[in-house]
Amino acid sequence: MNESPNCLICARELWEDETGRYACKPCERRIGDQLAAIAGPRGLYARLCLRMEPGRRAPGESVSGSSSPSIPANLQILDLTASGGLVSTLEEWVKDWASYGLAAPGTGGRLQHRIDQAVATLRLNLSRAVERHPALDEFAREIDGIHRTCSALVDGGREPVKAGATCLGCGHHFRFGLFDKGGADCPRCGQPHTRAQLLQPEQVDASAA
């Protein structure tokens, strides 16, 4: 149980209905969203794997030279998608949570299946971990780092463009992804904002990008 009156992740003061939790509700939602973005056939892991595939040839097109497969150009992507990479990191957290009675280790299989299984387990038990796991802030930082790194690599190494906005609820200034399709929650009070609200001329401060 968290004895601090503040969220261990964003440091804002916990609301009355969040007392005892290690993280506030907006941070919990953000962790869940980042985990969800990693898994699945269109998730960050699957898209990273696609970047490792050699370019396809047109039917009947011949290629001269060696028939050996080409060496991947981006070793960082290879490190992340290999057996000892991203999948191992997620599975280590599953094992760690299992020691607190918060999860059950997976059953193995192909790498994509293991990724999906680990993510599903962590998301399923996240609400309990927020209340019971003392290293939740470390977990959150690692998942955030994974999400940022994978997103940048999938986008060709470009950092997402950010803009600033002011929360309609508490007046807190925060940044959001300018080209994200969805809205954003205020990191301080959790107030949800639609994309239309974020893009109101009086709201957006493009200099914060």
Coil, helix or strand for 95? Answer: helix
Q: How far apart are CA 172 and CA 12, in angstroms?
A: 11
Q: Do both 41 and 91 map to the same domain?
A: yes
Is 209 a member of any domain?
yes
Domain with 116, as residue range(s), is 1-53+74-159
Among residues 137, 159, 181, the one where a domain terminates is 159
Q: Do both 173 and 116 map to the same domain?
A: no
Q: Do both 184 and 155 map to the same domain?
A: no
Q: Do both 101 and 152 map to the same domain?
A: yes
Is 62 a member of any domain?
no
- Mean pLDDT across the stretch 131-137? 93
**pTM (predicted TM-score):** 0.68
Count how many domains the chain has: 2
Q: Do both 91 and 45 map to the same domain?
A: yes
Per-residue pLDDT tens over the stretch 14-24: 999 998 999 99
The answer, yes or no, to whether residue 171 has pLDDT greater than 70, is yes
- The count of other CB atoms within 10 Å of the CB of residue 156 is 7
Q: Do both 154 and 164 map to the same domain?
A: no
| Strands, E assignment, 8-166 | 162-166
Q: Do both 96 and 136 map to the same domain?
A: yes
pLDDT value for 91: 95
